[in-house]
Amino acid sequence: MAQTARKKSSTDRQAHRTRAHEEIRRWAEERKAKPTMVEGTEILRFDFEERDESGDEALNPVSWDEFFKVFDSRKLEFLFQEHTQDGKLSRFNKFVSQGS
């Protein structure tokens, strides 16, 4: 879906927190990110499929069901940003403990 060139509000650039599965999935799919876990762990990550040769962690693809099962069992929240200051889709995201 093409983004129109419009000025984003300051709230678009702020970090938001959510536990809503639908919102997390929407955010990831808008950025063509796939749900993964770091190999040998239950550390959740999104794979934007643009890794370099620097030896990043091995990411294992998982289903959305498995991803959200770990997300819920670890009582995590998704911290994210919708847009950068210049209005582009932001990829800023982090999984944090609920209430931290």
Helix (H, G, I), strand (E, B) or coil at 64: helix
Residue 88 within a domain? yes
Residue 74 within a domain? yes
Residue 3 within a domain? no
DSSP 34: E
Number of structural domains the chain divides into: 1
pLDDT tens figures, 32-77:
999 999 999 999 999 997 765 555 679 999 999 999 999 999 999 9
Buried b (16+ CB within 10 A) or exposed e, 62-79: beeeebbebbeeeebbbe
Residue 82 within a domain? yes
Q: Which residue has the higher pLDDT, 96 or 98?
A: 96
User: Does 10 have pLDDT greater than 60?
Assistant: no
Domain limits for position 79: 15-49+56-97
Residue 7 within a domain? no
Per-residue model confidence (pLDDT) at position 47 = 96
Residue 33 within a domain? yes
CB-neighbour burial class of residue 97 (10 A; exposed 0-12, middle 13-18, buried 19+):
exposed
Residue 38's φ and ψ, nearest 5 degrees, are: -65, 135
Residue 91 within a domain? yes
Residue 73 within a domain? yes
